Amino acid sequence: MRRTRLAGALTAVIALALAATGCGGGDAPEAAPAAKAAAAPDRVEPLPSPASPRLPVTVGSADGRRVTVASTERIVPLSGSLSEIVFTLGLGDRVVARDVTATFEQAADLPVVTRAHDVSAESVLSLRPTLVLAESTTGPAEAIAQIRDAGVPLVVVPAAKDLDDIGGRIDDVAGALGVPAAGGELRERTAERLDAVREKIPAHAEKPRVAFLYVRGSAAVYLLGGAESGASSLLEAAGAVDAGKESGLRKDFTPITSEALAQAAPDAILVMSKGLQSVGGVDGLVKIPGVAETPAGADRRVVSVDDGVLLNYGPRTDQVLASLVDQLYGEEK
């Protein structure tokens, strides 16, 4: 679905908060035991057989252009999710830069050229890329145009908001890299792993209501996720109800108010792990106006997932879903 201008503005606020806080890092207090961190290590798992690009290829770009890719020797993915796909396809040794959200171990030493959708065209071009991969939300537009005007092939991939978007994104990236067969293999592996997690979800007569809160304490950003936040598909796949969406919030995020939280009435709260740390853990989270009055706040029932993977909708989404399921139903399994 296309975002509204207001939704896009709120997304920009989140992006700036991410950049300002370094994705919520720092020496913040640890979360209380009630908030369990994601168990998966911060690494991607490349396909067992290295892919060998067959080039040149001409592919469609999400902005309506046709782009010819002649070399993948120096790749610059402008989002953490796209980086994850490239590395998992086995071409990580060709990546020469990263977005600040590419937090996984294999990409850690790469120079950062993008911070929360704020692309530095000069930094990208200084690395002499032979292919740049962007998302439809990547910007500013002037930077994207500057990269294109320099003659660098730039392929735009649609942004993901849903589990159903994963396969198409893998296909788009694999196609641009000239490794469509590897893309098909990764797409199949990812789908199988997601299905395996779904099979283990306990059946419930009444589904838990979960509210997704985006919080950055150091930037004073406190938002409640709605239908377009990107979390709905994950929560519903985990057998839960997106409390913000169910309460009538149709855009991506809205400022947290006591009234909005009371309407959502969540049984559990989902947050990014570094965002939780930024407010002082669970103790700080329940001090946000209205949180303590919800069933989730009263029970201190908080689910946290690492910032770098929660909304990526990439090859590690099965790990995200497994973490959600474990934290929501762990005692029942």
DSSP letters along 68-119, please? EE---SSEEESSHHHHHHHHHTT-GGGB--EETT--SGGGTTSPEEEETTEE
Nearest CA among 320, 332, 329, 330 for reference residue 39: 320
Distances from the Cα of 82 to the Cαs of 55, 67, 135, 297, 329, in angstroms?
20, 17, 8, 35, 31
pLDDT band at 34 (very low <50, low <70, confident <90, very high): very low
pLDDT band at 117 (very low <50, low <70, confident <90, very high): confident
pLDDT over 70 percentage in the chain: 86
Summarize the confidence of residues 233-237 as an average pLDDT: 96
Give the chain's count of helices (H) and strands (E): 13, 14
The token pair that represents 252 in the structure block: 């991506």
Do 67 and 154 contact (CB within 8 A), yes or no? Answer: yes
Residues whose CB is less than 8 angstroms from the CB of residue 298 and which lie 6 or more positions away in sequence, other chains included = 292
pLDDT at residue 21 greater than cutoff 70: no
pLDDT at residue 236 greater than cutoff 90: yes
pLDDT for res 54: 97
pLDDT at residue 205 greater than cutoff 90: no
For 1, other C-beta atoms within 10 Å of its C-beta total 8
pLDDT for res 330: 80
pLDDT for res 51: 86
**pLDDT tens digits, residue range 135-192?**
999 999 999 999 999 999 999 999 998 999 999 999 999 999 999 999 999 999 999 9
**pLDDT tens digits, residue range 273-293?**
999 999 999 999 999 999 999
pLDDT band at 6 (very low <50, low <70, confident <90, very high): very low
- Ranking 3-12, 93-102, 178-187 by mean pLDDT, the lowest is 3-12
Summarize the confidence of residues 196-209 as an average pLDDT: 91
What does the alpha-carbon distance between residue 114 and residue 102 come to, in Å, rounded to a whole number? 10
pLDDT at residue 321 greater than cutoff 80: yes
What does the alpha-carbon distance between residue 246 and residue 230 come to, in Å, rounded to a whole number? 14
pLDDT for res 41: 63
Q: Look at the block and give the residue holding tokens 């953490």.
A: 80
Question: Which CB contacts under 8 angstroms, 24+ apart, belong to 285-289?
Answer: 285/213, 285/215, 288/213, 288/215, 288/222, 288/256, 289/256, 289/257, 289/258
pLDDT for res 331: 65
Answer whether the bond into residue 77 is a cis peptide, omega within 30°: no
pLDDT at residue 37 greater than cutoff 50: no
For 158, other C-beta atoms within 10 Å of its C-beta total 15
Average per-residue pLDDT for the chain: 88
- Ranking 7-21, 92-106, 166-180 by mean pLDDT, the lowest is 7-21
pLDDT for res 83: 97
Phi, psi (degrees; rounded to nearest 5) at 59? -130, 160
